[in-house]
Structure 1
Amino acid sequence: MIKGLIFDYGATIDSNGTHWAEVIWNQYQTAGVPISKANFRDAYVYAERALAVNPYIKPEDNFLRLMQVKIRIEFDYLLGEGILSKNDTTDSVIDTIATGCYEDARKSVEAAKATLDVLSARYPMVLVSNFYGNIQAVLDDFKLTSYFPVVIESAVVGVRKPDPAIFRLGVEALALQPEEVVVIGDSYRKDIQPAQSLGCDTIWIKGAGWDDSEAAVHHDKIITDIAQLQELL
């Protein structure tokens, strides 16, 4: 019997299953940044690794500020590699891309709230996220705090997905047994597999991923829109 829910945040609630690399790439294209997708992906990985080991993001930074910092790191990498020029990497271009990403996230979050309203009335919910130390500021800005009284953030607890230990913390926060908990996430490797290894039930919100490695993966509960959770839960 289902008694509680664990949600992933990034790419689950704020982009409805679409990997954030795809969201950012779309904004690069809209802004007319003259690079290939392969070069963009290299910059994306570089920025993710830099953010993981350097305190560039402050706890009070909202999602817009996070995106401004992230895009600046990507642009600095592309500039250093000689892929972009200084004219391509102005603050104005960074703000255009970051603002576009912020608006994409805001729209996805607003659309998700109808489902979160329904589910939070039925079940206690916990958020488990790989994030940069500012997830609370992001939730506050998007008016999501009330849905998740407990937030387990990798940068705070010192454990990152796909380590099942971070989901175990979520289960413990719910004060339930794993088999009483459903985990909802967008990544089969980082959300579904580790949660299943604990004995949790899982629902995979499957959208455009980082690559095709999970395209053929079978799972008995796949959705393509967060609103479909109301039917399953």
Structure 2
Amino acid sequence: MENIKGIIFDYGGTIDSRGVHWSEVIWAGYQANAVPVDKSTFRDAYVFAERELARTRHILPHHTFADLLLIKMRIELQWLVDQQHLPADAVERWAKPVADYCYDAARNSIADARPVLDELYSRFPMVLVSNFYGNVEAVLEDFDLRRYFRSIIESAVVGIRKPDPRIFSLGVEALGLPPQQVLVVGDSYKKDIVPAESIGCRVAWLKGKGWTPEEDAQMHPAIISTLSQVLQMVD
């Protein structure tokens, strides 16, 4: 892939979970802690929590990823209690163990990503474009990732969410490059790859287990299975 002069990274699902949708990471945390719900019921709780976080400001700018996960697990588990899928003490029993499992999973994924980020940072200006809850700066600082990115374009701050391509246009503007010279690295076909290509960016799709069978079945010539493959793409 020639003439790449700058890189836009997605965060959640790309840097912190190796391309695997975060619902799958959390589900693994439920299983590791023997939370007695089936996957379909868990997915309902996951959707409820995401919608609750979108409509009510539970997450504040200073919250770290550990804080965010604990808040999210409490919302999910309380919904499962309210729907009578789990006993009344479920939040107390499982919120922190599941949150801790997920935090460790993110930390391990970031450790894998760091050598790639180090190499790319030495060669390219980079911007982060993320759908997040208003605290991505605190999350990045907590994981010592903020230093890699010239600018942070966060949906909760700029008022534009993926898959709206305008959020990627903001990232391109922050790099000061034409889109044809920008590589966008993301884990979602619909939210990263399609909108980035629509404005002329080059793409790398870090494809792991997705949210839907349709996305799992989707193919694209720029699929990668590990972030280290980005280094090969820009050589």
**What band does the TM-score fall into relative to the shorter chain?**
over 0.9
The residue identity in structure 1 corresponding to 2:13 is A
Instruction: Report what 2:173 is aligned to.
Output: 172
Instruction: Report what 2:7 is aligned to.
Output: 5
Instruction: Report what 1:63 is aligned to.
Output: 65
Give the match's secondary structure for 2:107.
helix
Instruction: Report what 2:30 is aligned to.
Output: 28
Question: For 1:95 and 1:216, how far apart are their aligned partners in 2?
Answer: 34
Question: For 1:101 and 1:92, how far apart are their aligned partners in 2?
Answer: 16
Question: For 2:14 and 2:103, how far apart are their aligned partners in 1?
Answer: 15
Q: 2:44 aligns with which of 26, 35, 42?
A: 42
Question: For 1:44 and 1:208, how far apart are their aligned partners in 2?
Answer: 16
Runs of 4+ in 1 over 6 A off after TM superposition: none
**CA distances 1:69-111 after superposition (whole Å, capped 9, x unpaired):** 0011101111111111113x13241110001100100110111
Instruction: Report what 1:230 is aligned to.
Output: 231
Residue 53 of structure 2 is aligned to residue 51 of structure 1: yes
Residue 132 of structure 2 is aligned to residue 128 of structure 1: no
Instruction: Report what 1:213 is aligned to.
Output: 214
* CA shift for structure 1 position 177: 0.7
Give the match's secondary structure for 2:129.
strand
Give the match's secondary structure for 1:70.
helix
* CA shift for structure 1 position 122: 1.0
Question: For 1:24 and 1:210, how far apart are their aligned partners in 2?
Answer: 12
* CA shift for structure 1 position 196: 0.3
**CA distances 1:38-81 after superposition (whole Å, capped 9, x unpaired):** 00000000000110111100100000110000011101111111
Alignment of 1:182-193 (within 5 A): 182-193=183-194
What is the RMSD of the two structures over their aligned residues, measured on CA atoms?
Answer: 0.8
* CA shift for structure 1 position 188: 0.2
The residue identity in structure 2 corresponding to 1:33 is V
Give the match's secondary structure for 2:7.
strand
- The alignment-based identity, stated in percent, is 53
* CA shift for structure 1 position 218: 2.1
Question: For 2:222 and 2:15, how far apart are their aligned partners in 1?
Answer: 17
The residue identity in structure 2 corresponding to 1:166 is I
Question: For 2:233 and 2:184, how far apart are their aligned partners in 1?
Answer: 12
Instruction: Report what 1:203 is aligned to.
Output: 204
Residue 148 of structure 2 is aligned to residue 147 of structure 1: yes
Instruction: Report what 2:75 is aligned to.
Output: 73
* Paired residues of 2:78 and 2:91 also in contact (CA < 8 A): no
TM-score (norm 1): 0.98
Question: For 2:38 and 2:94, how far apart are their aligned partners in 1?
Answer: 17
Give the match's secondary structure for 1:13.
coil
Question: For 2:169 and 2:50, how far apart are their aligned partners in 1?
Answer: 25
Instruction: Report what 2:84 is aligned to.
Output: 82
The residue identity in structure 1 corresponding to 2:116 is T
The residue identity in structure 1 corresponding to 2:158 is V
Question: For 2:22 and 2:91, how far apart are their aligned partners in 1?
Answer: 22
TM-score (norm 2): 0.97
Question: For 1:93 and 1:217, how far apart are their aligned partners in 2?
Answer: 35
* CA shift for structure 1 position 212: 1.0
